[in-house]
A and B are shown apart, each in its own frame.
Chain A
């Protein structure tokens, strides 16, 4: 069973640059989530996809952030004009079904903005 994978695992970028992260969910999971986690905090919800449709976005997701899930498979999260405050672990999770199903997380992408 292949779990959720994320790429890259680590990204160091300079302030003002654009970055893109990829998430490959568990193959049969139709729901995909992005979270952000900073040191000493729990994951904070960013956005959610059901198949290819982005159904919910947090107010944490400024207009510099955009997420896609073409064809309902993998997803990408892009951050434009990165700021130092964007430094965090970006986590992707997927789940199965329309009701209360647990989410399975990937290993995360650690972003450092210098």
Chain B
């Protein structure tokens, strides 16, 4: 199972928006409404930010939103804040009780 493809980096100024893509195949991203997104600060465990493409767990700000079109999912962070600077990973169910993660994107707040 190959990793999902994400851009290595993305950046934006405080208050701006940044969008991260996550490209897979019809066997994972395109085949299920199962894309989730995780935020990871250096030295910390990942934190769930979005699940089932566009749902937010309790406590996650509504500045974080998700979408999907075909084999590509996206995470948008609106109103960027300094604390949003982190690595972001997408994940998708890939069938047969297996999961796949994205390659990761480092978001920098300028």
Chain A bound to chain B: no
